[in-house]
């Protein structure tokens, strides 16, 4: 019993141990890695990715998969830029209204995504991938392939204004991390996510409306993708049809590396946080130590595999899909 408990404890804490080991490793190679300035760089890169990872965590906990994040982030980012400009282009005026409107848009996109999945009985990965393509196409249609600038100094203050060395956008991401944690642990919806992921047939037999839970989960994920879009626009000062590029790899990799089980029912938003930090520490660390660009992708892939090996109890899975 003690041996089993120690193994379970090791698996539970393995992602955090991997993160600490990576920080020590990169610091040993280049001491400048361990500095407030560099940690701020990591946090800035991680903030939007964390929002996407939290959204997809809810989906994966249910035992589904969501691949629509790139299209959703691109479309909501472009929509935010246009609405923000239409409302005066200033956060000090009516531009702030663009934020809740875009969060609603993200929720609607996620809602449609979930309805396509459950009502048409299309596998979640296929339905969400198709919706992602639709989102990217809509973003291209809106922009005509051009870049939409957002230069309001107040809005860009989310990046430029710092407190204790970190920009405001990092604290905003931290706030929504707590919101995600609250939904996960202190709401009926959050408990229902785990019930569906732990066994859909059992959840249905107990009277749970599985369809409603799944659709709501996809809608909630869409809201978090929209938050990510706003943070990305604040970081780079523009929106375009490729704003959401690479979020699929980062988010899925992060939640799995962090310990969220792809078969559902295991993990949560704190796992997503650790996973996002692992991926971004690896990415930043390779730059800091001066690794050639052509080697970075390969090293990142190998280190991600290592992290998954250390943090996942593969005996719990009867097959790999």
Residue-wise pLDDT for 232-254, tens only, equals: 999 999 999 999 988 988 888 88
Question: Which residues on adjacent β-strands are paired with residue 148?
Answer: 239
Quick: pLDDT tens for 184-212. 999 999 999 999 888 777 877 777 888 89
Quick: pLDDT tens for 68-88. 999 999 999 999 999 999 998
Kindly state the percentage of the chain with pLDDT values over 90: 58
Banded model confidence at residue 1, pLDDT cuts 50, 70, 90? very low
Residue 21: Cβ within 10 Å count = 13
C-alpha 61/C-alpha 218 separation (Å) is: 12
Residue 14, pLDDT score: 79
Name the CATH architecture for the domain at 35-312.
Orthogonal Bundle (1.10)
C-alpha 276/C-alpha 176 separation (Å) is: 15
Q: What is the pTM of this model?
A: 0.91
Residue 140, pLDDT score: 95
Banded model confidence at residue 18, pLDDT cuts 50, 70, 90? confident
Q: Which range has the worst mean pLDDT, 94-103, 123-132, 194-203? A: 194-203
């Amino acid at each position: 019993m003690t041996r089993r408990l120690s193994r379970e404890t090791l698996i539970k804490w393995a992602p955090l141990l991997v993160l600490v080991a990576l920080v020590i490793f990169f610091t040993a190679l280049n001491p400048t890695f361990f500095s407030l300035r560099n940690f701020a760089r990591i946090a800035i890169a991680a903030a939007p990715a964390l929002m996407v990872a939290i959204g997809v965590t809810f989906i994966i906990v249910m035992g589904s998969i969501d691949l629509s994040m790139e299209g959703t982030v691109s479309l909501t980012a472009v929509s935010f830029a246009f609405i923000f400009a239409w409302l005066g282009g200033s956060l000090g005026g009516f531009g702030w209204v663009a934020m809740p409107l875009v969060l609603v848009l993200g929720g609607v996109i996620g809602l449609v995504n979930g309805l396509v999945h459950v009502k048409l009985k299309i596998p979640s990965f296929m339905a969400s991938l198709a919706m992602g393509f639709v989102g990217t196409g809509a973003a291209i249609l809106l922009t005509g392939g051009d870049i939409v600038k957002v230069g309001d100094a107040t809005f860009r203050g989310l990046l430029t204004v710092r407190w204790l060395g970190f920009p405001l956008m990092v604290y905003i991401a931290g706030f929504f991390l707590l919101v995600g944690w609250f939904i996960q642990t202190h709401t009926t919806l959050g408990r229902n996510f785990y019930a569906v992921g732990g066994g859909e047939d059992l959840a249905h037999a107990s009277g749970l409306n599985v369809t409603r839970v799944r659709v709501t989960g996809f809608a909630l994920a869409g809201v978090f993708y929209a938050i990510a879009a706003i943070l990305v626009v604040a970081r780079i000062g523009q929106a375009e049809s490729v704003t959401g590029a690479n979020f699929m790899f980062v988010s899925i990799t992060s939640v799995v590396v962090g310990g969220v089980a792809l078969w559902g029912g295991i993990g949560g938003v704190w796992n997503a946080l650790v996973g996002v930090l692992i991926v971004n520490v690896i990415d930043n660390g390779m730059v800091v130590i001066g690794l050639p660009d052509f080697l970075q992708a390969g090293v990142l892939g190998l280190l991600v595999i290592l992290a998954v090996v250390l943090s996942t109890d593969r005996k719990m899975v009867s097959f790999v899909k």
